[in-house]
């Protein structure tokens, strides 16, 4: 924890005195999860002090690049085509919008975008992007063509309950995207090796550990509370009347025709996407569909 939050904010260790860190696994669905989870007051501390909004904003602003725009727009192109609707006919929920990296692209492509988020600063940002922020309770009476979650589900205190609520919000024929940290062999790594002493995302951290590095990113004290495996998503999908469409993140590729170097770069990206499609590359990405009536 010290290494994880060192560059993000400040930890008040007194708030954690007497609290044990326990990881368990659900016998029914295979979810690996932290037993002791933050209450609402602690969540406010985590996401306003331990992870300072200023440092998070710097990180997010650095990700607003043309390359990321192409990647996000390419993925939405694939998702919108699967819905079989014009972008202007698509109603989307971005659950946990963050700094709007995904919402702003979907909105620019013409979709009607709703979002959930906490904090007045993010709500003001959403308004400038043409994104409508709704209260969490409003999800229960709304329906969407696309329910979009990108690196959100691992943070939820009540993952099963919230998955059910989001699944109910998917229109018949609609899609539910779940992108989460890849858990890999975490179920065997934890009993054998425990957690690394230095956090995965810290400078010089667990990325230096050879083999199965990304698996440790699926569980991070107080932040990544849940580590989903394929069996977990399969169980949740079946329990909520959804079908798994794919476990491979797919996107369309735009090619710059300015010169030979640009064309070669575009061809390389196309080759990478074709390779992923051929080997069904799985990275903690799940696209679910509610069957049409």
pLDDT tens, 134-186?
998 999 999 999 999 999 999 999 999 999 999 999 999 999 999 999 998 89
The confidence score (pLDDT) of residue 199 equals 79
Strand ranges (DSSP E) for the chain? 23-25, 32-34, 91-95, 112-116, 132-133, 144-150, 170-179, 226-227, 243-246, 285-289
pLDDT at 200 over 90: no
**Who has greater pLDDT, 206 or 291?**
291
Confidence (pLDDT) at 208: 45
Q: Cα Rg for the chain, rounded, in angstroms?
A: 20
Residue 207 has pLDDT above 60, yes or no: no
Instruction: Give 273-282 pLDDT, tens digit per residue.
Output: 666 666 556 6
Q: Which two tokens stand for residue 40?
A: 């609402």
Exposed e or buried b for every residue in 68-92, given b needs 16+ CB within 10 A? ebbbbbbbbbebbebbebebeebbb
CA-closest candidate to residue 25, choices 189, 176, 237, 206 = 189
In the predicted model, is pLDDT for residue 133 greater than 70? yes
Residue 188, H or E segment: helix 186-193
pLDDT, position 156: 95
Highest mean pLDDT, choosing among 125-139, 201-215, 257-271 = 125-139
Percent of the chain scoring above 70 in pLDDT:
87
User: To the nearest whole percent, how much of the chain has pLDDT over 90?
Assistant: 55
| Per-residue confidence (pLDDT) for residue 206, from 0 to 100 | 45
Helix 230-239 vs helix 159-168: crossing angle, to nearest 10:
50
| Cα–Cα dist 25/29, whole Å | 9
Q: Where are the alpha helices (DSSP H) in 194-258?
A: 230-239
Please tell me which residue, 122 or 158, carries the higher pLDDT value.
158
Output the pLDDT for position 84: 95
Whether 266 contacts 273, CB under 8 Å: no
- The more confident residue out of 30 and 207 is 30
Q: Is the pLDDT of residue 259 over 80?
A: no
Task: Specify the CATH class of 29-181+224-289 in words.
Answer: alpha beta
């Amino acid at each position: 924890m010290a290494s994880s939050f060192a560059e993000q904010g400040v930890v008040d260790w007194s708030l954690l005195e007497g609290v044990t860190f326990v990881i368990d696994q659900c016998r029914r669905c295979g979810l690996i999860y932290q037993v002791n989870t933050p209450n609402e007051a602690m969540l406010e501390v985590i996401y306003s002090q331990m992870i300072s909004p200023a440092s998070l904003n710097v990180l997010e602003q650095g990700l607003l690049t043309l390359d990321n725009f192409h990647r996000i727009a390419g993925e939405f192109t694939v998702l919108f085509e699967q819905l079989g609707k014009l972008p202007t006919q698509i109603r989307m929920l971005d659950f946990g919008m963050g700094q709007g990296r995904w919402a702003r692209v979907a909105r620019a492509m013409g979709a009607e975008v709703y979002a959930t988020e906490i904090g007045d600063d993010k709500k003001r940002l959403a308004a400038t992007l043409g994104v409508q922020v709704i209260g969490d309770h409003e999800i229960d009476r709304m329906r969407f063509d696309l329910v979009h979650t990108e690196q959100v589900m691992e943070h939820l205190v009540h993952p099963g309950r919230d998955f059910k609520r989001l699944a109910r919000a998917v229109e018949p024929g609609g899609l539910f995207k779940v992108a989460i940290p890849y858990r890999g062999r975490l179920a065997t790594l934890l009993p054998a090796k425990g957690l690394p002493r230095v956090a995965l995302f810290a400078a010089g951290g667990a990325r230096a550990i050879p083999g199965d590095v990304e698996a440790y990113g699926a569980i991070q004290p107080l932040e990544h509370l849940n580590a989903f495996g394929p069996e977990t998503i399969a169980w949740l999908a079946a329990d909520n009347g959804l079908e798994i469409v794919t476990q491979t993140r797919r996107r369309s590729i735009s090619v710059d025709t300015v010169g030979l170097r640009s064309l070669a770069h575009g061809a390389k990206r196309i080759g990478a996407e074709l390779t992923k499609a051929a080997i069904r590359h799985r990275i903690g990405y799940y696209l679910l569909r509610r069957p049409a009536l």
